């Protein structure tokens, strides 16, 4: 008899999400099962030692997705690590169920509080300058409080520093109306953290290229 393959998790995207929920997470892996098998994501947050069960949607044998719930009340204003694993519930014809958890390594994501904008500059920019200029964005979040925590205690030695918000990739989504066609346009720019200015100013800052004239 052929040995039954156990589903395995390989990759989750995005790898960071806002803790207020609503982000659609995409999981890549192997040997996922569709109905009548039920898929459940276990979201474990070590910071508060809690696990949240989230129903997952089967896509293919290598893809599933789920919607991240609101966990703001658990981690409050912290940036926290979370780990996801997969549980399968096989629904038999007789009505009994058997739950099996994948033996694959858990996948890590980072949960962060909603980051609001405090200031953007310059607020006005001539079209002729869009090729060379940079847009700076100041977030309403203190630079010194942007450490990603995996436990309530801070590290006691310099040998185990906490990762920082600025260690994560960041992008800026820009929406505007074309000056020529008057059609709405949306572009995504790769942004960079401005750590030197953030440390001096106190608030987290980042920079990105403005949209090109269109």
Tokens of 155: 């590290």
Q: d(Cα 89, Cα 111) in Å, to the nearest integer?
A: 27
Assign residue 182 a region (left: φ > 0; alpha: ψ between -120 and 50; beta: otherwise): left
Residue 150, both tokens: 């995996």
Separation CA 214–CA 198 (nearest Å)? 32
In contact, 185 and 156? CB cutoff 8 Å: no
Domains of the chain: 8-112 (2.60.40.10), 117-208 (no CATH)
Q: What does the DSSP 8-state code read for residue 137?
A: E
- In order along its 214 residues, the chain shows pLDDT tens digits of 446 678 889 999 999 999 999 999 999 999 898 888 889 999 999 989 999 999 999 999 999 999 999 999 998 778 999 999 999 887 765 565 656 666 556 899 999 988 889 999 888 877 666 667 889 999 999 999 899 988 776 555 555 678 999 998 898 888 888 878 888 988 888 999 999 999 999 999 999 988 776 6
Both tokens of residue 197?
Answer: 């200015």
For the full predicted model, state whether its pTM sits above 0.75.
Answer: yes
| 92, two tokens | 């038999």
Asked if 57 and 66 touch (Cβ cutoff 8 Å), the reply is yes
C-alpha angle 56/148/188, rounded to 5°? 65
For residue 22, give the H/E element and its range.
none
């Amino acid at each position: 008899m052929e040995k039954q393959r156990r589903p395995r998790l390989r990759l989750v995207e995005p790898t960071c999400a806002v803790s207020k929920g609503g982000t659609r997470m995409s999981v890549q892996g192997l040997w996922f099962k569709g109905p009548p098998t039920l898929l459940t994501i276990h979201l474990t947050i070590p910071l508060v030692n809690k696990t949240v069960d989230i129903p997952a949607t089967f896509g293919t044998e290598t893809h599933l997705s789920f919607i991240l719930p609101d966990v703001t009340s658990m981690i409050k204003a912290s940036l926290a690590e979370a780990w996801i694993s997969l549980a399968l519930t096989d629904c038999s014809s007789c009505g009994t169920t058997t739950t099996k958890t994948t033996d694959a390594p858990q996948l890590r994501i980072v949960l962060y509080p909603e980051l609001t904008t405090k200031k953007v500059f310059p607020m006005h920019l001539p079209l002729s300058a869009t090729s060379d200029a940079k847009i700076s964005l100041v977030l309403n979040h203190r630079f010194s409080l942007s450490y990603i925590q995996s436990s309530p205690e801070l590290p006691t030695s310099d040998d185990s520093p906490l990762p920082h918000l600025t260690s994560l990739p960041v992008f800026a989504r820009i929406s505007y109306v074309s000056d020529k066609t008057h059609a709405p346009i949306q572009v995504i720019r790769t942004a960079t953290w401005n750590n030197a200015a953030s440390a001096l100013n106190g608030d987290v800052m980042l920079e990105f290229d403005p949209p090109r004239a269109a």
